[in-house]
Amino acid sequence: MIENMLSDLRLYLHLLRMQWRAQSQYKMNRAIDIGSYFAVTSLEFVGVLVYFGPFPSMLGWHVGEVAMLYGVMSIGFGFAELFGAGIDNFQDTIRLGEFDRVLLRPVSSFVQVAGSDFRLRRLGRISQGCITFVIALRLLPDLHWTLAKFIALLLGIASGSVLFLSVLLLGATLCFWTIETTELVNILSYGGRDMLSYPINIYNQAMQRFFLFVIPLAFGSYVPTCYVLGRPLPFGLPGEAVFASPLVALAFALSAGAIWQFGVRHYQSTGS
């Protein structure tokens, strides 16, 4: 078991190294790609800032607090996009019948799919998230930091990446049956991302519950940010719930993995 996992990990790292070297062959292209993606994600954030010109706050959240939430979400989502590019492209693998070939190889299909792509351009979003976080710190000079808050933040970002990755995996799994419905999955991944760019208490109760308890993406950004800012959580959740984030993420990832396995077993080639 452990040995299997180690060899899977070695294979995955090898695939990543190949992707890295391939993309490094085109230095200019890589630089333009990362730069343009940075510009795209920065414009999205500037959009949030513009709202706070005419309006002083969003249901009690001030610009610095929203910026911190946005930064945390961006970093978590950025890592998920970076490592999940292969999963995100899965519909092409299915549509072209490539998955038959994946299944024939005597190694984990998940590792092969996950390692099939690695998008360096996603570094653009991660760096935007970091800069946004620094801006948030400048806008919140009175924030009192403790070790617990720092740990909560790191745990939250790591959990956020795992959660978003699991959502991408669920979307990929759907392709086993639908061949392609990327747009519906976009509601969960990109829609979830846009939704969580703002404090979730602005949404109606059903949407809040959904993103806390069903697809618990809020544990990756909203819950840790509330803990750092000392804000109360909805539905009477204690602030310390943040330390459960890794467990929530793990449980969600395992469920997504189980559904993926189920999909793999029910795979019927597209053929042509």
Partner 1 sequence: MVRFYFEVARTAFRRQLIYRWANLAGLLTNIFFGAVFSYVVIALFHTRPAVAGYNVSDTLRYTWLVQAMVMVVLTFGWYDLMLTIRSGAVISDMSKPCDFYWYWFSREYGRNIYYLFYRGLPTYLAGMLLFGFGAPGDWRYWLAFIISLLLGATVGIAYRMLYNAVAFWSLEARGIGTLFVVIALFFTGSYVPIPFFPHWALGIMQWLPFNALINVPTEIVLGKISGNTILFELARQLAWAIILTLIVRLVISIAARRVIVQGG
Residue (of 269, 271, 260) closest to 114 by Cα position: 260
Chosen residue from 21, 25, 27, 59 binding partner 1 by CB under 8 A:
59
Answer yes or no whether residue 3 interacts with partner 1 by CB under 8 A. Answer: no
Rounded Cα distance between 56 and 58, Å, is 7
Query: Which are the contacts of 42, defined by CB distance < 8 A and separation ≥ 6?
Result: 128, 131
- Binding segment for partner 1 (CB under 8 A), chosen from 104-112, 139-147, 180-188, 263-271, is 180-188
**How many CA within 13 A on the CB side of residue 239?**
12
Q: Does 58 bind partner 1 (CB under 8 A)?
A: yes
Q: Which is nearer to partner 1, 129 or 153 (CB)?
A: 129
Q: Which two tokens stand for residue 199?
A: 């404090």
Q: Quick one: which of 4, 7, 24, 36 contacts partner 1 (CB under 8 A)? A: 36
Residue 61 pairs in a beta bridge with: 58
Structure tokens at 41: 């994600």
Three-state secondary structure readout of 143-209: CCCCHHHHHHHHHHHHHHHHHHHHHHHHHHHHHHHHCCCHHHHHHHHHHHHHHCCCCHHHCCHHHHH
177 counts as binding partner 1 under rule CB under 8 A: no
Distance CA(263)–CA(104), nearest Å, equals 16
What tokens does 201 get?
């208490």
- Binding region for partner 1 (CB under 8 A) out of 105-113, 156-164, 178-186, 219-227: 178-186
Choices 78-86, 162-170, 185-193, 223-231; region in contact with partner 1 by CB under 8 A: 185-193
If one asks whether residue 33 binds partner 1 (CB under 8 A), the answer comes out as: yes
Neighbours of 247 (CB within 10 A): 11
Number of residues lying near partner 1 (CB under 8 A): 35
Find the binding residues for partner 1 in span 85-144 (CB under 8 A).
121
198 near partner 1, judged by CB under 8 A? yes
- 44 in contact with partner 1 (CB under 8 A): yes
Question: According to CB under 8 A, which one of 6, 9, 51, 230 is a site residue for partner 1?
Answer: 51
Q: Note the residues at the interface with partner 1 (CB under 8 A).
A: 29, 32-33, 36-37, 39-40, 43-44, 46-47, 50-51, 53-59, 121, 181-184, 186-187, 191, 194-195, 198, 202-204, 207
